[in-house]
Amino acid sequence: MTYHTTLDQAAGAAAAAAGVYGSWNAERRRDLLHACADAVDAARAELVELAGTETALTSARLDGEVTRTTGQLRLYGDHVAAGRHLSRRSSPGAGLGGADVYTVDVPLGPVAVFAASNFPFAFGVPGGDTASALAAGCPVVVKGHPAQPRLSRRIAEILSAAVAGAGAPEGTFGFLDAESTDGDPNKLSIELVQHPAIKAVGFTGSFGGGRALMDAAAARPEPIPVYAEMGSVNPVFVLPGAIADEAGRQKWAQTLAGAVTGSGGQLCTKPGVVFVPEGDDGAALGALTGGLIADNAAIPMLTEGMAAAHRRWSEQTAESGADARFAAGEGQEADSRSGLPFAVEITAKDFTGGYREEHFGPAAVIVRADPADYPALADSLEGQLTATIIADDASDADREAARALLPSLVAKAGRVVWNGVPTGVAVVEAMQHGGPWPATSASWSTSVGTEAIRRFIRPVALQGVPADLVG
């Protein structure tokens, strides 16, 4: 099997494959997903090296991401083989004339997948959207990311061979090269979403990109769902008990600074805003955290464009009149693809405008506030992927404050973290990687975890239909 390099070829082949592949039993789909995982694992060293040259991420980070990606492929395959993705609803004798009513789940059809840049494996060509669509019985047409053209092509070659080796029909896996678009990959993206063969979309990226795809999908004669994960500031709320002593302040300052600067701050779950209590302890935590963030050399970023955006945000905060700013000292310079880590500290009344927006890169906003105002501050936020509470488990006051805060966080976020950081999303059945608008386009869905498979199937109620007629 060879992957197709034009839109009409890839989408047409996917449409032709949909009926056959969609009729495969779950065990055959499991075997295909396992074959894909085995093929990626076999090429691990080559792929990690190639990804490193295009992303500037460390080998250790990339190797761990390959493990997560192949584990995800196998998990989804095992999940569908066990039938755990099915709704299995039935109402015996409840239909007209006493007919039995039961549901079956059917694949939606070809799915357009957009590879993300910040997770070249886990959210790239072989990532969660590809894995969940194939698990659901849907062919995929994957658009490679323009920041990683060679890696995208190589993984596509590997997956194409694995899918063919599993006996899948031509078109089950299709790939579109972002570099073969006459310099306009955005045009190809819109055309892919609007192609009549495509029945759903999986996307991880910016708000602007996700909204453009949603608008394109809605403008079709047959609108289709777009499952877009578009990011957030992932607020962290620090309660007084957690930082009442020096050990607590040191611990959480190091933990937060590491989460802000890890992977160059280019994670959709990076804690971009940290609320600290007013008073001496909060001020000390803010200074420690900001200092640790700034005490880093320039960090290579995924693209020159991301580095430029990070520099613009740094310049804006330097001119904004923030109460405090923590930045690298003299002699620290960044090249065109690197970013200098920094943090700013403001009061709650100044928490407006750009301070409330997601900014990719190694930077954070520290906000001093009265913990009694935390629920109102949470209520004022837009939808988030995550929200975090840092508290002293043994403190009754912290627990009561958390009890008051939790309803606001549950209303605003897809995942609430207790005494941790939101980076590092576990690929498990209970995971919810989504959130209210504008974090995602569909707050009820997830792009990580086995529930992601259900994005690409739909239920059909069968009333009185003999069960032996259904394959």
Residues annotated catalytic, as ranges = 229, 268
Who contacts 54 (Cβ-Cβ below 8 Å, separation ≥6)? Answer: 120, 147, 148, 149, 150, 151
Phi, psi of 168 (to 5 degrees): -75, 150
Residue labelled with tokens 């890839």: 10
